[in-house]
């Protein structure tokens, strides 16, 4: 047996039995697209069946950025019968940020695990190999301190200087576990995040890490935020041009949606935003959709995560992160 297959089955076993705690008789739906690495899907299906549960593989089209959060109507209907959903689309985040998933989590207790935009390398190495129970405990400590604040401040030596009001929706933990009805997580995982009160973010963000849907480039990108909206994008290069194109052509993609702090000590700094945004001490912000756990009303068709290095994050009461070092 090829070593990669062995690693894939090992990870699938952890996801099914520990992180999702899939039970005999449950209905599990795996949503993929033509770009998904099917070795991951097949491993999960085999372990799910061995656990006594039923699996269904649903393959939707690959989506362009303008429709990156749109699933098919057929899949959305089918999810009504599911107990667990695993989102595995590689071309888009459709199976993660769909409004239908948020609604079914709330109304029917659908458990959800996001593995969108990930490849087999991220699935078996780096952050995937972490101790998720330790990450969960770190997340609980961070959340308890974070939620005491009413304002949040984000700064870096490269020029980031942003403030926003918080408390409209509580910070939430993503530590890989979704074992109870309505819970959600990701894999690989490890972060605490919060959506600021919509329209209150003000200041400057300098992005020096990878960005979702944007080719990773060396140059920094400067975002000016006024009343929760991007009003100017500074910088030069392909990444800047790609981001400007998205902001200009996707409705509400200029909305400031999220601030998150990574907690996974095994995540690598490898230029892949889905790995780096979970890395211990990295910060990510997001533009676009802020419904669901973020507490907002913007139903944008994108949710663009962007990584920032060596940041300091404070509330009006506590220091959460000091130049990339966790303080709680």
pLDDT digits (tens, 9 = 90+) for 185-224: 999 999 999 999 999 999 999 999 999 988 766 678 999 9
Residue 2: pLDDT band (50, 70, 90) is low
β 27-32/84-87 pair status: parallel
Buried b (16+ CB within 10 A) or exposed e, 23-58: eeebbbbbbbbeebbebbbbbbbbbbeebebebebb
Buried b (16+ CB within 10 A) or exposed e, 197-223: bbbbbbbbbbbbbbbbbbeebeebbbb
Mean pLDDT of all residues belonging to the chain = 94
The residues that bridge with 297 in the sheet, in sequence order, are: none
In Å, how far from its chain's centre is CA 25? 29
Q: Are 308 and 299 in contact (CB under 8 A)?
A: no
Strand ranges of the sheet holding 191-194, from the earlier edge strand across to the other edge: 172-174, 191-194, 256-262, 283-288, 303-308
Residue among 277, 262, 309, 115 at smallest CA distance from 212: 277
Mind giving me the DSSP string for 116-136? TT--HHHHHSGGGGS-HHHHH
The predicted model gives 34-60 an average pLDDT of 96
Residue among 122, 171, 143 at smallest CA distance from 8: 122
Residue 68: pLDDT band (50, 70, 90) is confident
The predicted model gives 127-131 an average pLDDT of 96
Distance CA 5, CA 233 (A): 43
With a cut of 70, say whether residue 181 has pLDDT above it: yes
Torsion, Cα 259 262 263 264, to 10 degrees, reads: 150
Residue 233: pLDDT band (50, 70, 90) is very high
pLDDT of residue 67: 82
Residue 29: pLDDT band (50, 70, 90) is very high
- Whether this prediction's pTM lies above 0.85 is answered by yes
Name all domains of the chain by residue range, CATH numbers in brackets. Answer: 3-124 (3.40.1830.10), 130-326 (no CATH)
Give 4's Cβ-side CA count (13 Å radius).
Answer: 9
Q: Are 159 and 143 in contact (CB under 8 A)?
A: no
Mind giving me the DSSP string for 151-187? EEEEE-TTS-EEEEE--SS--EEESS---STT-EEES
Residue 278: pLDDT band (50, 70, 90) is very high
């Amino acid at each position: 047996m090829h070593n990669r297959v062995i690693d894939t089955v090992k990870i699938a076993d952890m996801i099914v039995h520990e992180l999702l705690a899939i039970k005999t008789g449950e209905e599990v739906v795996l949503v993929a697209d033509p770009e998904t690495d099917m070795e991951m899907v097949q491993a999960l299906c085999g372990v799910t069946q061995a656990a006594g549960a039923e699996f269904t593989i649903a393959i939707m089209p690959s989506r362009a950025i303008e429709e990156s959060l749109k699933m098919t109507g057929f899949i959305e209907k089918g999810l009504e019968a599911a107990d667990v959903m695993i989102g595995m689309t590689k071309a888009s985040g459709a199976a993660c940020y769909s409004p239908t998933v948020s609604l079914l989590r709330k109304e029917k207790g659908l458990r959800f695990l996001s593995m969108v935009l990930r490849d087999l390398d991220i699935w078996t190495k780096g952050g995937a190999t972490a101790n998720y129970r330790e990450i969960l405990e770190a997340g609980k400590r961070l959340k308890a301190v974070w939620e005491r604040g009413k304002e949040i401040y984000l700064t870096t030596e490269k020029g980031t200087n942003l403030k926003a009001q918080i408390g409209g929706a509580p910070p939430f933990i993503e530590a890989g576990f979704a074992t109870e009805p309505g819970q959600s997580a990701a894999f690989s995982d490890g972060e605490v995040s919060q959506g600021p009160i919509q329209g209150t973010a003000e200041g400057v963000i300098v992005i020096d890490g990878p960005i979702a849907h944007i080719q990773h480039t060396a140059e920094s990108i400067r975002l000016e935020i006024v009343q929760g909206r991007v009003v100017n994008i500074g910088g030069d290069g392909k990444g800047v041009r790609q981001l400007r194109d998205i902001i200009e052509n996707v409705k509400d993609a200029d909305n400031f949606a999220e601030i998150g702090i990574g907690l996974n000590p095994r995540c690598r700094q490898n230029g892949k935003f889905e790995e780096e945004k979970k890395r211990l001490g990295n910060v990510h912000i997001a533009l676009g959709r802020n419904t669901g756990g973020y507490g907002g009303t913007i139903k944008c068709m994108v949710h663009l995560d962007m990584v920032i290095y060596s940041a300091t994050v404070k509330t009006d009461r506590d220091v959460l992160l000091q130049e990339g070092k966790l303080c709680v």
